[in-house]
Amino acid sequence: MMLNSLYPNMENAIHRRTFLKLAGITSFSLFADNLLAKNHYNSMEPTTNGEYYHFKVGDFECFCINDGGLNYKPEQFFKNVPKEQIEKVLKERNIPIDSIYTPYTHLIVKTEKQIVLVDMGAGRVLPNNGKLPQRMKLAGIEPTDIDTVIITHAHPDHIGGTLDDEGKPIYSNASYYIGKDEWDFWFSEVAYEKTPEFFVKVAREQLSPVKDRIILLEKEFEIQSGINLIPAPGHTPGHMVVSFSSKSKQLYYIGDTVLYPLHLEYPDWLPIYDIIPDKAEMSKRMIFDLVADNNALVIGQHFVPFPSIGSVTRKENGWLWKPIDLKG
């Protein structure tokens, strides 16, 4: 698959500034725009500082950390939907018809035994990102405190922040959990056929230096009591979802099982980024039926508004996303 097919007007340049410009993705500052629109699809709650959000799930202490964010073209998120239909739905929700903003939200969970980070952000691979290490410090957590890193999948915005500017692991005391199918894919020649060369390059450059710390998973796995890694392939071959359970409370970090809340309301609207669409469809229905039935909290890495936490309820042929009320 050529990079042009994923990012219109993309040429061969890989430099991160050029990448963003040519990709049709506009850099975005949460603070510069300070969108406080009434509709939750494109607003940011004023009760957060836009950098991190602290909450609890039972006995687990949790932090959503904002690594940055990007604007995407609607056709990148909804490749199979007529432009007129997309624009109608976006207008109804007060979303710009030519640009869809998504944050890059990551999760830290502190238990009595571990400090777990789910995904490492885009780092300096994408402009206006790479804020995760500094912002976790604002929450009182040093990168060296992290002893467990869970990689939902190896797209650049999830693993581009593995290394610092000197090429050394930022989370130097951590073990890294990733699906075996995911690891095998990105280090195979098939990856060049299924996804842009840029994506493959980033995955290999970022993950190779920590390969001695990698733990490969072939099935559902419990890291400790209350923390489970669930295979949810499709977006990528070894994509995983992470569940956290404590004192009858549940939280699911869904990675990119879906990319945007509208994909829940309109599950037949498909993004260009899913590598195995039929498996992505099965995983989507499995995960969100599970989440809805368990009345669990959900974090979607790209869900708006930050801190990207909410709940999901069933509707006919889909689900509804409701962000948590941070003012309540």
DSSP assignment of 65-92: EEEEEEEE-HHHH-TTS-HHHHHHHHHH
CB 162 within 8 Å of CB 123? yes
- What pLDDT sits at residue 9? 30
- What pLDDT sits at residue 41? 39
Dig out the tokens for 9 from the structure: 């007007």
- What pLDDT sits at residue 110? 98
Centroid of chain to Cα 308: 10
Condensed to tens digits (0 to 9), the pLDDT of residues 152-172 reads: 999 999 999 999 999 999 999
Condensed to tens digits (0 to 9), the pLDDT of residues 173-198 reads: 999 999 999 999 999 999 999 999 99
Task: Give the homologous superfamily in CATH for domain 3-323.
Answer: Ribonuclease Z/Hydroxyacylglutathione hydrolase-like (3.60.15.10)
d(CA 259, CA 91): 19
For the chain, residues with pLDDT lower than 70 are 1-49, 328
- What pLDDT sits at residue 325? 87
Centroid of chain to Cα 107: 10
For residue 323, the cross-strand partners are 310
CB 125 within 8 Å of CB 160? yes
- What pLDDT sits at residue 207? 98
d(CA 46, CA 33): 12
- What pLDDT sits at residue 128? 87
